[in-house]
Structure 1
């Protein structure tokens, strides 16, 4: 007997809860060499910008204990090239595509949302709020609830109702629940967390920062406890809001931990750099874990860790033993 792995981002049904994390699956062509992108719950694009961007100078990446620092920047060909070359390829293969967008002003986010409005093949729009606001001394949108809500509201107003808007949150805030609530009040249909916390590494041989930009986003297993904490807190405060959990997911156990904390879907990111089969493997492992614990549906496990201990279902083996 297989578990029902269907899940929902607002009113949109996904066949399973495993997504790619933005920027980690390339254009989709790279992953397609190893597994069918149609089998993903959804494919999340890198953050698309209005104009082409070269990204930040090299070196852009540095390994850390149980993690990876990156300062790639929003490198990409711009929205027109994306719509011409990348989205049609994904649509032809039946991928459910979540388009991540990034910008330096509310106006740029709005323009992107308007350009994407009505385009076939878009399942949802993810608003990458970890971008510097050039109109506010470079302060990152995600660190201010009012600024984040303004971006989300502008994107929601420019996006057709049938396309959910997902606000992607940063853990580098004093109160992630307050920012999450502001985004939902601004019109976000779902939340994604966490984006990379900011970290830094110094090469003791060169005695210089390991990244050309100095600081960068930390990802990988090192950040998973931080992701679990954020998902837990936001689900406790906003239990009706769908959450895509991410941050250090490398196994089905990692995915289940985020689900139990309150995520209805999970995204695999850094693991793809060393294991391009990670998404189908994580999905298979997650399903096996759910079955072992007596779950017939993924939905029954979402947020279960918040419930009283007596409300937790026993494993299937325990139920079988008790019936003897």
Structure 2
């Protein structure tokens, strides 16, 4: 069971959501997940102004990548299937987006998480070396289920490859490194232990489920341009919570929970399973850009009503 401590302002109502993770002070535990809202500096600024404690960039690689052909996203019952294919302008150009908002993020007291990807430890290290001076922590995307070409879950489903990637980035990074894991494995605890052993400061769980697909029965063909994609949204929450629960029992590093979070009660479930903070992605679709303020208010209301601190609820179902 995780044995780290979280520094929370327990006796001050205004600071009840403050926490310290990885040696970094966050004003609240509700972060933007990697995805479409992190594509540009202006989008990240908008999320920051709507209450996020941290914003995560779109996953960035060495070179520009166009991603998969449209359509890349389709709504299904309980959520979305997406097959973006890791589209991004490449690290050299994307740094301009981060520079655009860095000062504003500092003024808003919002941290920047740099999500990066590569097809091997060398590529991860190269991207990390370029982004490390512009972000507060690095998140390793070793979990995308539809990237193809040896990227994403092709790495995260293998303990040895996951270990190599984490180790290579840790060897050069001056900021904390968090590994984002895929649920599409036989035992996520084995992967979690592997990345912890490699030096990961924390774990983000989970990336999208799948891959899955949807067929247009009138056109008699798959809807997504890539044929298949990863499942996100409300329907994945129970699976994400179980994965967080399992990881918490296996490692001693903090967990950031993600998957189907749209309310404060959802976030509290993740925390009780073992997450110290949470990320929100498709929830923006359901509740708008100010979902971060809403979830923070709902968490705070729950804690005050029940005379609890965040320390009281994180991992409490394991006790």
Q: Deviations over 1:71-126 (max 9, x none)?
A: 01111111111112x11122121231000001122211111112224x1x411000
After TM superposition, the score normalised by the length of structure 2 is 0.88
Q: Deviations over 1:196-233 (max 9, x none)?
A: 01122122222211211111010000000000000001
- Matched positions, count: 298
Q: 1:142 is matched with which residue: 144, 156, 164?
A: 156
Q: 2:300 is matched with which residue: 287, 299, 309?
A: 287
1:139 to 1:241, Cα distance in 2 relative to 1, 3 A: closer
Instruction: Find out whether 1:153 has 2:167 as its counterpart.
Output: yes
1:255 Cα deviation after fit:
0.4
Structure number with bigger Rg: 1
Q: Secondary structure at the match of 1:174?
A: coil
Equivalent residue, structure 2, for 1:126: 139
The gaps in structure 1 that reach 5 residues or longer are: 308-324
Preserved contact between residue 143 and residue 153 of structure 2 (Cα < 8 Å): no
1:273 Cα deviation after fit:
2.9
Q: Deviations over 1:243-277 (max 9, x none)?
A: 00000000000000000000000000001134111
Instruction: Find out whether 1:43 has 2:16 as its counterpart.
Output: no
Equivalent residue, structure 2, for 1:67: 79
Preserved contact between residue 8 and residue 242 of structure 1 (Cα < 8 Å): no
Runs of 4+ in 1 over 3 A off after TM superposition: 31-35, 131-136
Preserved contact between residue 44 and residue 55 of structure 2 (Cα < 8 Å): no
Equivalent residue, structure 2, for 1:91: 102
Q: Secondary structure at the match of 2:136?
A: strand
2:41 and 2:198 map into 1 onto residues whose CA distance is 31
1:179 and 1:269 map into 2 onto residues whose CA distance is 23
1:298 to 1:79, Cα distance in 2 relative to 1, 3 A: same
1:33 Cα deviation after fit:
4.4
User: Any residues of structure 2 matched to 1:208-223 within 5 Å, and which?
Assistant: 208-223=221-236
1:301 to 1:20, Cα distance in 2 relative to 1, 3 A: same
Equivalent residue, structure 1, for 2:219: 206
Equivalent residue, structure 2, for 1:317: none
1:35 Cα deviation after fit:
5.8
Equivalent residue, structure 1, for 2:3: none
Equivalent residue, structure 2, for 1:116: 131
User: Any residues of structure 2 matched to 1:1-324 within 5 Å, and which?
Assistant: 2=13, 4-26=16-38, 27-30=40-43, 32-33=45-46, 36=49, 39-84=51-96, 86-93=97-104, 94=106, 95-117=110-132, 119=133, 121-130=134-143, 134=149, 140-160=154-174, 163-198=175-210, 199-238=212-251, 240-274=252-286, 275-295=288-308, 297-307=309-319
Q: Secondary structure at the match of 1:192?
A: strand
2:84 and 2:178 map into 1 onto residues whose CA distance is 22
Q: Secondary structure at the match of 2:229?
A: strand
Preserved contact between residue 9 and residue 164 of structure 1 (Cα < 8 Å): no
The gaps in structure 2 that reach 5 residues or longer are: 1-11
2:44 and 2:55 map into 1 onto residues whose CA distance is 10
